Amino acid sequence: MALRVYNTLSGSKEEFVPITPGKVGMYVCGVTVYDNCHIGHARANVVFDMIFRYLKASGYDVTYVRNYTDIDDKIINRANRDGVAYNEISERFIKEFDIDMARLMLQLPTHQPKATEHIGEIIALVEKLIEKGYAYQSDSDVFFRVDKFATYLKLSKRNLEDMQAGARIDVDERKEHPMDFALWKGAKPGEPYWESPWGNGRPGWHIECSAMSMKYLGETFDIHGGGKDLIFPHHENEIAQTEAATGKPFVKYWLHNGFVNINAEKMSKSLGNFFTIKEVLDRYDAEVLRFFLLSAHYRSPIDFSDQNLNEADQGIERIYKALAGIDERLAAGCPGAAAGEETAELEEKLGTLAARFAEAMDDDFNTALALGHLFDLVRSVNKALPMAGKELLERVKAEVAGIAKVLGVCDTVPAEFLKRMQERKSSALDISVAEIESLIEERAAARKAKDFKRSDEIRDLLLSKNIQILDSAQGTTWKAK
RNA sequence: GGCGGCGUGGCCAAGUGGUAAGGCAAAGGACUGCAAAUCCUUUAUUCCCCGGUUCAAAUCCGGGCGCCGCCUCCA
């Protein structure tokens, strides 16, 4: 039972063998901080958070680095538009990013470096590339010489000729080859800049990741991740720069997550069909969103829609209801505990859960299958609950907690989660709690008087307002649907 | 045009050679004054289509159709 991961570089699943036994170095491309993040960013970050958690749970000592790209054309454009300094924009959206990630229950990476705090390392790397003949200055820009790097495009598996045939970009006369890319960009008047041997300027987009990943993880490290859209050009260029400079392999395993789609089309800024994390969290619980994102394999596209989010909501509530049932029974002292067919089934499911979970996760982080196993357990729990004893229920809780910690879902106290969902749904009702409760009292009186016509009228009236009546031996409660 | 991916029940989604997980939804039953929740049962002889390989294919090979992504910044 060993972890296998899909490596974009080889195009196949490979056994995960870290460079240094017991340790993992992982770098994930963060965001360019020029605006609020959308659900696509949420997916990438949740996915790699899950991977980070699972590697740790598997016993690895993980160094996880996720950068902030805090200097870039988009940041400058936004700053000009808003009439503020570039760093006002970057600092603001770093804060917003941190808030969003915290709401999505992400664990903090080991390091979160910023490009602007590594200008020295970037300049040194560019100088080394010039020295080795892999880069050249042209005006106040520095470009990477792609045809000098023999294995260029090995990650995206293309060739230079085809790329140029399909190229839609204007040819820059200052480049030796149309595909050469910028390592350093000279500053135009009014732009932010740092001093360099090539004049005042700023780093190109790709070089920062090479400089920062090497600084924190060494010249060769285990895992580099990001969205599929970064394969070309970003990751391809990172490989070229870094391997040209060091002469060593850059990264052992390249992992890429699939897109979030809207109506089967990629969510993106340019298409304008995106939802920000903040917008979505106004309408859905963060844990529901996380659950939704983990309900498909991380490499598959996932379709964002109200229906799919509502299904995720129903699904996670099913799990929490079972867990809440366990807590209630434990609090009541497990009356009438007895072994039977049902508890035997639960024992059996429980005994294999950890192994089935590990097997799913070891197969390229198959969270969809892992969640399936959790639902499987839930069914057995519900069945056995009326007769289950304390020891068995405590074990269920412990096993589920272990899984919840890795996935970052179902990790809340069940009663609190369900209450939170109720509050969220209740706040959307167009009827006050006082009105609901008075109607319920009236219904109780009608029921007592066997006036079922009236009691049913009240129930249907409430139902029409999305309120479900729940009768039990302890009395009547209600919930928002 | 080049490269890559996908097509599994009403919907979502696992499953890469051994005879279709799981969730949502729906229907019937138990429970209930009636409901809801929960439990039980049912819902793909079949995995886009057509060929082929094999004792055996959703899974491999060939062809076709459809959808998507990358090739420009993008998670």
A134 pLDDT higher than 90 = yes
Indicate if CB(A348) is under 7 A from strand B. Answer: no
Rounded average pLDDT over A247-270: 92
What average pLDDT score do residues A157-163 get? 81
Query: Which nucleotide lies nearest residue A369, CA to C1'?
Result: B14
Q: Which of residues 41-70 of A touch strand B (CB under 7 A)?
A: 41, 43-44
| Residue A30: other Cβ atoms inside 10 A | 26
pLDDT at A162 > cutoff 90: no
A261 CB less than 7 Å from any atom of strand B: yes
Per-residue HEC secondary structure of A102-119 comes to HHCCCCCCCECCEHHHHH
Q: In what order do the strands lie in the sheet with A265-266?
A: A265-266, A260-262, A302-303
At residue A148 the predicted structure's pLDDT band, cuts being 50, 70 and 90, is very high
Q: Which CATH number fits domain A4-138+146-167+203-280: 3.20.20.70, 3.40.50.300, 2.30.40.10, 3.40.50.620?
A: 3.40.50.620
pLDDT (0 to 100) of residue A171 = 66
| Statement: the CB of A80 is under 7 Å from strand B | no
Q: What is the pLDDT of residue A272?
A: 85
CA–CA separation, A143 and A333 (whole Å): 71
E runs forming strands in A284-431: 302-303
Q: Considering only CA atoms, which residue is closest to the C1' of nucleotide B22?
A: A372
CA to C1' distance (Å), from A438 to B21: 46
Q: Which residues of A34-68 are buried (b: 16+ CB within 10 A; e: fewer)?
A: bbbbbbbbbbbbbbbbbbbbbbbebebebbbbbbb
Residues 7-26 of A with CB under 7 A from strand B: 11
Q: Is the pLDDT at A169 greater than 80, yes or no?
A: no
More confident residue, A159 or A365: A365
- For A365 and B39, how far is CA from C1' in angstroms? 33
At A165, the pLDDT band (50, 70, 90 cuts) reads low
Are residues A29 and A67 in contact, defined by beta-carbon separation less than 8 angstroms?
yes
Instruction: Check whether residue A91 has its CB closer than 7 Å to nucleic acid strand B.
Output: no
Using alpha carbons only, give the angle A405, A411, A416 rounded to the nearest 5 degrees.
165
For residue A163, is pLDDT > 80?
Answer: no
Rounded mean pLDDT of chain A?
Answer: 93
* Residue A263 Cβ < 7 Å to strand B: no
Q: Is the CB of A411 under 7 A from strand B?
A: no
Q: What pTM value is reported for the model?
A: 0.95
- At residue A166, the 3 state secondary structure works out as coil
pLDDT at A170 over 70: no
Nucleic acid strand B: bases within 7 A of protein CB: 1-6, 11-16, 21-25, 32-40, 67-75
Average pLDDT over residues A429-450: 90
A270 CA to B48 C1', in Å? Answer: 32
Domain A306-414 has CATH 1.20.120.640: yes
Residue range(s) of every CATH 3.40.50.620 domain in chain A? 4-138+146-167+203-280
Q: Averaged over A350-375, what is the pLDDT? A: 95
Is there a contact between A438 and A458 (Cβ–Cβ < 8 Å)? no
Q: What is the pLDDT of residues A307-343, one digit of tens each?
A: 999 999 999 999 999 999 999 999 999 988 888 888 9
Residues of CATH 1.20.120.640 domain(s) within chain A?
306-414
- What b/e readout covers A325-336, taking b as 16+ CB neighbours within 10 angstroms? bbeebeeeebee
* Cβ(A309)–Cβ(A288) below 8 Å: yes
User: Is the C-beta of residue A466 closer than 7 Å to nucleic acid chain B?
Assistant: no
Bridging pattern class, strands A23-28 and A201-203? unpaired
Q: How far is residue A89's CA from residue A243's CA, in Å, rounded to a whole number?
A: 33
Our measurement of CA A303 to C1' B7, in angstroms, reads 15
**Residue A41: both structure tokens together:** 């960013």
Predicted-complex ipTM score: 0.94
Q: What's residue A472's pLDDT?
A: 82
pLDDT for residue A168 = 53
